[in-house]
Amino acid sequence: MIKKLQRKFALSEQGAKDLIKGCTACVFHYISLMFPVGILYLLVGELLNGGVAKGHGIYYAVGCVFCVAFIMITTWFQYNGTYFATYTESGVRRISLAEKLRKLPLSYFGKKDLADLTSTLMADCAFLETAFSHFIPELVGATISTVIVAVSLFAVDWRMALAALWVLPVSFGIVALSARVQRALNNRQMEAKMTCADGIQEYIECLRDLKSNNAERGYIIGLTKKIKAVENRAIISELGTAVFVVSATLILKLGIASVALAGSVLLIDGSLDILTFFMYLLVVSRLYDPLQSALQNLAAVISTGTNIARMNEIFDHYVQEGKPVLTNKGCDITFNNVSFAYENGEPVLNNVSFTAKQGEVTALVGPSGGGKTTASRLASRFWDVDRGRITVGGMDVATVEPETLLSLYSIVFQDVTLFNNTVTENIRIGRKDATDDEVKAAAKLANCTEFIEKLPDKWNSLIGENGCTLSGGERQRISIARAFLKDAPIILLDEATASLDVENETLIQGALSRLIKDKTVLIIAHRMRTVAGADKIIVLEKGRVAEMGKPQELAESGGIYSRMLALQTQGENWSL
């Protein structure tokens, strides 16, 4: 039961248990609302038989107080069992989703975009929060309490019970049959929302380029159409749901008429007494009110399927697993006949073999699209290889838990990610337990000290979202300082000096030369001067190792590296 609820509604184990408690509380709450009907039935019975007996008035007064108290108690349990528990579960779901995302391979994020994942974490969780606090418990509570009342009605008079209850299977059947239509409408509405969210995010990220190319107005027109499409899909979805729910509600209302009609016929026939007739009228007037809400809740529960499917897609995705211990002897990185392709199936690496030795700088160069960045990320197990084997000190990286493996690596990407925090804390990400002095020492190695000291609050200066208050070169140097602070035995540099001027690039290279002693360094670069001092150069072209050797040897070989070196020299000598 618990497992089924977890799967069906994307809940944690505790969330599934809380959902059962919430549904149970709703059942008792709805039953408690029928108690006043019983007291009124007894009172009317006495009035019809000549008046309230002496001393019975106090019993009715106590009964009313009891009903009010019982309703208040069940309402309190219902509130705690639905709302409070749901708020807790919503937080648990968001954290669980974030934890799952943290463990997913990088390939997953190549298929998903940021707006989509943000919507799942925020909007989908918020929608399910509403479902678990309003829709599901009230639907279950109304259904179970109705079944209990229905059994009681049949026990009193099966004819009147049929007159009162025939509308229920018809009404709920109409809404249940709308499931396929609702799912189709909700999926299209979600697609429109995601398209709009992508457009808004893209507009914000590319605003500078749009303005500089006078393309802002044209983009806004397209974005307006996407926003209008969301509005139209929402109207269509609401209308599609309303057609079924309103029709079912109208059928439900016929129950009152059928009870009145059947009761009148039986009353005239003499086979039903006036008190029983009155009781059935009271019961159905109270019974159909929560059921009307239940029909709307049933439609809402059906519509949650789209949101639950999006969450389960994340939970069901495989994670990279492995041993939580390192068994490497040394830190040589060896590619042994490695082949790899992304989701589209087009091969990026094909039978690539090389070794990046500890204590040396190994550079990956070659034309764009040759597989350089892919090779470096396979080495750190951001993806798993399709064929072949990658080892670090003889240890197969595919057998090690990713976070454990990454403790061996300091990585500097071409695209730097910084946080809206102080300079010190942005560098301290490299090693969270580092002291301020260690942070400053790492910043000095990365040539950051000079520009940091010029900031308004120096080391405590907030640098804005993704370091927006810093230049590209300053952001890159902070990223390099993180790698220095981590001081891992393997260093991966993916165009790490691309945003630096010649002077700073020279200073960073000097710092790297001090850092790489007894370490494995893998550099990806397009500028040949960046790798001129490397111990080994590997030229990747079309996913294969085209050349391999020392810089001087390759420069004199007349091959790809030699040609790239000549073209770059020619480009540097070009002038207007």
- Mind listing the pLDDT tens digit of every residue in the chain (576 residues)? 777 776 666 677 777 777 778 888 888 887 887 788 777 777 777 776 767 677 777 877 888 888 888 888 888 887 777 777 777 777 788 888 888 888 887 767 766 777 777 778 777 777 777 777 777 787 888 888 888 888 888 888 888 888 888 888 888 888 888 888 888 888 888 888 888 888 888 888 788 788 888 888 888 888 899 999 989 998 888 888 888 888 888 888 888 888 888 888 888 888 888 888 888 887 887 777 777 777 877 887 787 777 788 888 888 888 888 888 888 888 889 999 988 887 766 788 888 888 888 888 888 888 877 888 888 888 888 888 888 999 998 899 888 888 888 888 888 877 778 888 888 888 888 888 888 888 888 888 888 888 888 888 888 888 887 777 787 777 878 888 888 888 888 888 877 666 566 666 666 666 666 667 778 888 887 777 777 778 888 888 888 888 888 888 888 777 887 887 777 666 555 555
8 Å CB contact between 83 and 41: no
pLDDT tens-digit profile of 277-316?
A: 888 887 887 777 777 777 877 887 787 777 788 888 888 8
β-bridge pairing 490-494 and 333-341 = unpaired
Angle between helices 274-316 and 158-165 (to 10 degrees): 50
Any idea what DSSP says for residue 433? T
What is the residue-wise DSSP string for 384-426? --SEEEEEETTEEGGGB-HHHHHTTEEEE-SS----SSBHHHH
CA–CA separation, 22 and 27 (whole Å): 9
Sign of CA dihedral 249, 253, 259, 265: negative
Question: Residue 538 gets which letter from DSSP?
Answer: E
Reference 436, options 412, 455, 451, 452; nearest CA is 452
pLDDT of 569 reads 65
CB 140 within 8 A of CB 270: no
What is residue 313's predicted lDDT score, i.e. its pLDDT?
81
pLDDT, residue 570, reads 62
Q: 40 to each of 49, 70, 284, 538, how far by Cα in Å? A: 14, 16, 14, 91
Q: Count CB atoms within 10 A of the CB of residue 365.
A: 27
Is the torsion defined by CA of 66, 71, 72, 78 positive or negative? positive
pLDDT at 473: 75
DSSP code of 53?
A: P
Nearest alpha-carbon partner for 297 in 233, 241, 239: 241
Q: Which domains, from first to last, does the chain contain?
A: 2-312 (1.20.1560.10), 322-408+491-496+518-571 (3.40.50.300), 414-487 (3.40.50.300)
3-state SS track over 150-219: HHHHHHHCHHHHHHHHCHHHHHHHHHHCCHHHHHHHHHHHHHHHHHHHHHHHHHHHCHHHHHHCCCHHHH
pLDDT for 228 equals 92
What is the pTM (predicted TM-score) of this model?
A: 0.66
